[in-house]
Structure 1
Amino acid sequence: MEEAPEVEKEPTRREWTGFWSLIAQQTQSAFNEKAAQFLLIPLGGWLMGKDSKMELIAPLLLSLPFLLFAPLAGWLSDRFPKRNVLVACAVTQLVILVGLCGAMAAQSFQAAMVCFFTLAVLTAFFNPAKTGIVKELVGSRHLGFASSIQQMTGMLAILAGQILAGLAFDHRLHGSSDGWQAARGPLWVITVLALPPLFFSLLIPRTPRGEADRLSPRLAFQHFHQMKDLWRNPELRRSSVGIAFFVGFATFIHVWSLGVAKELTSGTTGFGTAASKYMIANSLGMASGFGVASVLMRRRIELGWVPLAGIAMTIGTLLLAVPDPSGRGFLLVLGFTAFSAAVFLAPLNAFFQDRCPAEHRGELLAAAYLQECVGAIIAALGLTAISYIRPLAGNPWWLGIHFALIPTALICGAVTVHSARLVPAELVRVVGLTILRLIYRIRSSGTEHFPQKGGVLLLPNHITWADAFFLTAACPRPVRFVMEAGFTGNTAVRLFSQLFDTVPITSSKPREALRASAEALKEGHVVCIFPEGQLTRTGTLRELKRGFEIIARQAGCPLVPTWTDGAWGSIFSFEGNRFFTKFPQRLRYGISVGFAPPVDPKDADLEGIRQGMMKASAIALAERAGDPAQANALQLSHINALQRGADFGTLDSDPLPDALPGLAIFEKQFDAIRRESPYPDPSSENHWLGGNALREKIESSKLQPGGVFFDFSDRATEPLAHPGWLHCPCLAIGGVIVAMSMPDPPKAHPGSQEQPGRKPGSHGILLPGFWLDGTTLQGPAVPNGLPLPDGTTVDEEGFVFLTRDQRSAAPA
């Protein structure tokens, strides 16, 4: 038997401090690099005038180091602790910037371009280390969030560096008309700002050393070997190609917008300002996209956003041809296009980092960066070719600045279609869950208990037809559902099963069904089985069916009892004794999913899992309840006893209803109206609730027929001396409603199983939101626990039994 996977360790405070120190280092380093480089681009334009091709040459110089040094950069991050590489890069940046200041003082543009290229080389070595260390610091669970934050802050730093450098150069050039002087002053400031990254790099905790081989001459020529390793894994190949496409697209947007600025200003005075405005829109859009992606992926990596973002990129690219480049509309479209590109990249980047094996992460990241540079070079070369062909062709109108948008949009569309075909389930899941979240406000609690790796058998309650969607939205990992193969005859169900990779079983072949489920668990999936085997029509947990414990033992994986709280009352539940044929009571319906601690497969039995599921119900209820009385009111709303929005009767001389705080909140919160009367008249109200006083009145009543009596009296389990009334024994202790009986719900269809709402001798069914710790009742309605009389028992259907002596000792 395989060992059950352990819950992934949460990052320590020291590791989180290291992560934010890494963010601070990369942010300041990116600002320094881009500010220095963006001083040289307008300086080149000032020196060479309109004939300058700096905006086209720069992307090639920035990409070339990745082509030349990718294997060495990857080896460095795999051979040495990544933290040491980051410290070395911080020191090296300071040295290069000092050398760049010397080149400016000597007014040597050639020497300045050597420093420009050297900064790009440094980035080639810095990127695999700063990207690869993220998972070592925060782990898989927070990787989507951390990766998006890293990209967002890096983009903001690039934005700030480009804007400030361009504006500073133009301002100083306007005052002095000397490009060297315009660039020299800001560069000294940038050099001083290279000191903080060194300090931040020292705050990053030490990380393990890699397992790469010793340095050898052949390493310089291992580009194709690394690419072969990268492409051997289909997941890494597809995600890295998508990342390379993004880099090519981003390069196109960047260089194309610089070309637009050059068209407007002839590449002279005002070019830096115009280019900076475009960079503001571009970078702010991209940074916002990464920020939104960090929220969208705060719990897990969502690949379904990739094709959706691709559609937006295609539309944005085409729309760039519409507005005037000097107007605000152009800036808005440019920002929207960049925003979409960031949402496209973020899931791919996080997915790629997560799938890279730790021992070769630096090498694979370097190979991916190599691919990215190819994408950037293709985009830059394409625009360069158009810039040379255009004058040779006589500057025709159709070959203007907007021409390049057409092939780019077509490529975006093709990539979007391809990505949608690769991740159809993720796409449907994201779209479906987005719509679902517009209707339901879904929260989850207890996710810290959930194993992050390996097979997990999820065991939830089953309240509605939409439970699978609620669980998919709330679970921190993708879920595969077990489905009876006979249901796949329905087209919609068959499509669902194909998209969500369900585990098909056949009830007529139980051994094969057990084996199929166990195999899916052994493969490391989260497999969901509804152990009740039916939808509840009472709102309470029904009797559990056997089989799941055998599956878990065969797979050797943990079982996670789960509860969906708040689903009773939605149109998909049996509330009101019918499915679907009712209007939703409100939109943004509150749903809370609770996960109990995992159960070892050796300890799994029906009673233990039932207790675990009830504990999960308390965890889920606590997420929605503000105080104990409100918790008890919510418990009443979860069962098919007192109806929401319906009247119920009480005796005006009966003190019991006023002694139940949860009942009063239930009335107010769920529009249930209490009608007080001097005698029980079922012709006015069908449902009546009370204690000893109401029982005595009913038993002495001559009215026929009767109504439904929720009996909280001392003699609740004794037969009612009035056959016309439907007797529903209930239990309240210390003002807290603990259990309720209810009328047996009608069958949803002829083949539905019987679900009793009452049982002779019982006080009703234990309310969801309670669980038993020995003989003490626990849950948010009883925050300090509620001791039950010795000998209290709860059977396999949740019915609570007390002896006569115990009933008299349990105060209402």
Structure 2
Amino acid sequence: MATGHTGTLLRERRFAPFFWTQFLGAFNDNLFKNALIILIAFQGARWGADNQDVLINLAAGLFVLPFFLFSPVAGQLADKFEKSRLIRLIKLWEIAIMVLATAGLMLQNLWFLLAVLFLLGAQSSLFGPLKYGILPQHLKDEELVAGNGLIEMGTFLAILLGTILGGILIERADSGPLLVSGTVLLLAGLGYLTARAVPRAAPVAPDLTINWNLFSEISRTLRFTYGNRTVFLSIIGISWFWFFGAVMLAQFPAFTRNALGGNEYVGTLLLAAFSLGIGLGSILCDRMSGRRVELGLVPFGAIGISIFAIDLFFATPGSVEQDALMGPVAFMATDHAWRLIIDIVLLGAFGGFYIVPLYALVQQRSEPSHRSRIIAGNNVLNSLAMVLAAGFAILLLGWAGLSIAELFLVLGLINVAVAVYIFTLVPEFLMRFLIWILVNTIYRLRAEGLDHIPEEGPAVLVCNHVSYVDALIVAGSVRRPVRFVMYHRIFNIPVLSFIFRTGKAIPIAPAKEDPEMLERAYERIDEALAEGHLVCLFPEGALTSDGQMGEFRRGVERIVRRRPVPVVPLGLGGLWGSLFSRHGGRAILKLPRRFWSRIRLTAGAPLAPEAASPEALQARVAELRGDNP
């Protein structure tokens, strides 16, 4: 049975109880937090608050601060102990905190409630490393994108619903505190019940000695994140997203009132549009990535974020003149409403395209024994980014005197610079983006039998050679990174050369052209296999000139004789006649005859090294390719 689709995961015990546990937790956090903020803003004077603005900002800081302080210890606990038991204990703590919250509401003591909010932040900070550390233990690699997409969708939906319900309940002046108390206790209890159904997740570092020194552990946790450069830079990318999102979302209330002339319900509408966009983008990630961690979606998401953040500036009306604040119906009747809503929805959607693959990449490429601590390091940097976001907004809005719309413009432009910088440091993101664009705009690809390719360990892939983009299609289909061996003249084609070099392709030349390059290529192939990589060859040695397969050369025999590894045959079909093939003239230097044509890639069962003769491989690849080259 197929696994990994979002609807399927929500019906399975290995994912569904955890999803609802984290959903109810995020819902409860935001319900209580927003109810407290609204209580301070509108009823604070009656409850003894002298300066509501200070208390509101203090409340926001007190909730975020524990993520910085306690995430490193939380990461250690998540690595050392069995995760489902920890989740149940944390949910019991949530019940206890909500009992304290009820007491604070009944006593009408704001300072006590602020202390409760700090405890709630501490409880959530302990859940964070478990939240992303447990997914790789319960899900397959090809399910990580779907799982992370659902978690992100659920989190933002919970934030939206909690924020709305918290405001509705507390605004009832007489019964509000009682309604909030009953609701948070109910949600905490439901969260504990769903947590009881979360399957066991074995400890990954049971011998770990817990370091309770918060500050030395913060330093050590951050060092863990530095250990893998790609993972660390992915965490920087995630932290930038939370910086960006914190600045954007914090401006919605004032933006609604001052720039759009809308009331608080219009502000809720904008928040709902953003949350809908995040959910939509997060869910579409699974479909658009072909159930794999598709790094090409990260630049795609970054581009969209910049476009729609910048367009928010241009879509904002110059001035709004009315006697009273508009409600949602009056707002939607204005000329600028739909453009603004579409911008915000698409801003959220592209945010989903950006963030979900990054989370999945961190989970997939982190050392399992340190995964929760690396995620804890991610939480530390994320919380630091959100604190800096508040200072950044204050600086530009207060000191520099920018309007909120101008702040959106600056954010969009800075996002361009940050994205370029990250993609320069990790060119794999841009390489995957170019491959993803190519495969999904020019062709409609059907891939079959890819489960024959080993999930780990070395193997040689052999494939027929129809076009200049064969390597890109294979690279865009196989879940693992692939090292390609290719004719040096193809390797040096402009633009494509960037992709090949970034993917660490191995250029090769025939002995009559460059015997030294040939020998270097064989050495590099053996090194790649020794390191456990997949290596792909095109044994024909040249593109087909008539659509028929050429004779396979004997290089594969030499490779597997020196390093005995499985050999997986691949068959490409449907590419003959495309722009990048030699059908009808030289490849590329001709007018394209078709776009979005159907192509296929089929993998066969691996051959043992001793059975991988050129003749046997050619016959098997021809069979997999089929009658349509």
TM-score range, shorter chain: 0.7 to 0.9
Match of 1:376 among 359, 367, 386: 386
Say which is worse superposed, 277-286 or 314-323, in terms of deviation. 314-323
Call closer, same or farther: CA 1:186–1:273 in 2, change over 3 Å.
farther
- Aligned partners of 2:73 and 2:211 also within 8 Å: no
Deviations 1:510-532 (A, max 9, x none): 44332222222223332221122
- Aligned partners of 1:453 and 1:524 also within 8 Å: yes
Cross-structure match for 1:114: 115
Amino acid at match of 2:381: Q
TM-superposed CA distance for 1:343, in Å, is 2.1
Write the mapping of 1:291-690 to structure 2, written as runs, cut at 5 A. 291-322=283-314, 323-324=316-317, 327-384=337-394, 389=398, 398-485=401-488, 491=494, 494-508=497-511, 509=515, 510-537=518-545, 539-573=547-581, 586-617=594-625, 635=627, 638=628
Call closer, same or farther: CA 1:450–1:283 in 2, change over 3 Å.
same
Call closer, same or farther: CA 1:238–1:183 in 2, change over 3 Å.
same
Deviations 1:238-278 (A, max 9, x none): 11111111111111112121333465899xxx965344223
Larger RCO, structure (CA 8 Å, separation 6 or more): 2
Call closer, same or farther: CA 1:557–1:54 in 2, change over 3 Å.
farther
Say which is worse superposed, 401-410 or 598-607, in terms of deviation. 401-410
Cross-structure match for 1:17: 13
- Aligned partners of 2:19 and 2:151 also within 8 Å: yes
1:31 and 2:27 aligned = yes
Unaligned runs of 5+ residues in structure 2 are 46-50, 321-330, 332-336
- Aligned partners of 2:312 and 2:343 also within 8 Å: yes
Using the alignment, how far apart are the partners of 1:15 and 1:328 within structure 2? 36
TM-superposed CA distance for 1:375, in Å, is 0.1
Using the alignment, how far apart are the partners of 1:263 and 1:120 within structure 2? 31
What's the RMSD between the two structures over aligned residues?
3.2
Call closer, same or farther: CA 1:381–1:528 in 2, change over 3 Å.
same
Match of 1:40 among 36, 44, 58: 36
Cross-structure match for 1:247: 242
Using the alignment, how far apart are the partners of 1:279 and 1:54 within structure 2? 23
Deviations 1:400-449 (A, max 9, x none): 44453354334322202202313435424423532442332101010221
Amino acid at match of 1:368: N
Using the alignment, how far apart are the partners of 1:444 and 1:462 within structure 2? 17
**Secondary structure at 1:534 match in 2:** coil
Call closer, same or farther: CA 1:193–1:182 in 2, change over 3 Å.
same
Match of 1:206 among 178, 194, 200: 200
TM-superposed CA distance for 1:328, in Å, is 4.2
Call closer, same or farther: CA 1:490–1:109 in 2, change over 3 Å.
closer
**Secondary structure at 2:134 match in 1:** helix
TM-superposed CA distance for 1:562, in Å, is 0.5
Using the alignment, how far apart are the partners of 2:65 and 2:257 within structure 1? 24
TM-superposed CA distance for 1:609, in Å, is 2.2
Cross-structure match for 1:133: 134
Say which is worse superposed, 231-240 or 254-263, in terms of deviation. 254-263
1:279 and 2:287 aligned = no
Higher helix share: 2
TM-superposed CA distance for 1:386, in Å, is 5.8
TM-superposed CA distance for 1:336, in Å, is 2.7
Call closer, same or farther: CA 1:263–1:230 in 2, change over 3 Å.
same
Q: Please identify the structure whose Cα radius of gyration is greater.
A: 1
**Secondary structure at 1:215 match in 2:** coil
Using the alignment, how far apart are the partners of 1:487 and 1:52 within structure 2? 63
Using the alignment, how far apart are the partners of 2:257 and 2:38 within structure 1? 11
Call closer, same or farther: CA 1:340–1:261 in 2, change over 3 Å.
same
Cross-structure match for 2:185: 191
- Aligned partners of 2:17 and 2:194 also within 8 Å: yes
Amino acid at match of 2:276: L
Say which is worse superposed, 65-74 or 191-200, in terms of deviation. 191-200
Using the alignment, how far apart are the partners of 1:515 and 1:148 within structure 2? 41
Write the mapping of 1:136-147 to structure 2, written as runs, cut at 5 A. 136-147=137-148
TM-superposed CA distance for 1:377, in Å, is 0.4
- Aligned partners of 2:529 and 2:563 also within 8 Å: yes
TM-superposed CA distance for 1:581, in Å, is 8.2
Deviations 1:319-349 (A, max 9, x none): 3333149644333323332333332222222
- Aligned partners of 2:40 and 2:52 also within 8 Å: no
**Secondary structure at 2:185 match in 1:** helix
**Secondary structure at 1:193 match in 2:** helix
**Secondary structure at 2:554 match in 1:** coil
Amino acid at match of 1:516: R
Using the alignment, how far apart are the partners of 1:571 and 1:363 within structure 2? 48
Call closer, same or farther: CA 1:255–1:521 in 2, change over 3 Å.
same
TM-superposed CA distance for 1:461, in Å, is 1.5
Deviations 1:676-711 (A, max 9, x none): xxxxxxxxxxxxxxxxxxxxxxxxxxxxxxxxxxxx
Call closer, same or farther: CA 1:61–1:150 in 2, change over 3 Å.
same
Match of 2:222 among 208, 224, 227: 227
- Aligned partners of 1:239 and 1:352 also within 8 Å: yes
- Aligned partners of 1:443 and 1:474 also within 8 Å: no
Call closer, same or farther: CA 1:570–1:335 in 2, change over 3 Å.
closer
- Aligned partners of 1:564 and 1:591 also within 8 Å: yes
TM-superposed CA distance for 1:140, in Å, is 2.5
Write the mapping of 1:707-726 to structure 2, written as runs, cut at 5 A. none
TM-superposed CA distance for 1:125, in Å, is 0.2
Call closer, same or farther: CA 1:58–1:455 in 2, change over 3 Å.
farther
Cross-structure match for 1:103: 104
The TM-score normalised by the length of structure 1 is: 0.67
TM-superposed CA distance for 1:136, in Å, is 0.8
Cross-structure match for 2:253: 258
Call closer, same or farther: CA 1:495–1:542 in 2, change over 3 Å.
same
TM-superposed CA distance for 1:452, in Å, is 1.8
Using the alignment, how far apart are the partners of 1:516 and 1:41 within structure 2? 61
- Aligned partners of 1:166 and 1:276 also within 8 Å: no
TM-superposed CA distance for 1:582, in Å, is 7.7
- Aligned partners of 2:23 and 2:154 also within 8 Å: yes
Call closer, same or farther: CA 1:570–1:316 in 2, change over 3 Å.
closer
Using the alignment, how far apart are the partners of 2:458 and 2:536 within structure 1? 11
TM-superposed CA distance for 1:31, in Å, is 1.3
Using the alignment, how far apart are the partners of 1:420 and 1:345 within structure 2? 15
Using the alignment, how far apart are the partners of 1:43 and 1:613 within structure 2? 69
TM-superposed CA distance for 1:147, in Å, is 1.8
TM-superposed CA distance for 1:593, in Å, is 0.8
Call closer, same or farther: CA 1:190–1:441 in 2, change over 3 Å.
same
Write the mapping of 1:50-69 to structure 2, written as runs, cut at 5 A. 51-53=52-54, 56-69=57-70
**Secondary structure at 1:52 match in 2:** helix
Amino acid at match of 2:88: V
- Aligned partners of 2:525 and 2:535 also within 8 Å: yes
Call closer, same or farther: CA 1:366–1:262 in 2, change over 3 Å.
farther
Deviations 1:193-220 (A, max 9, x none): 3233223222222121232533354356
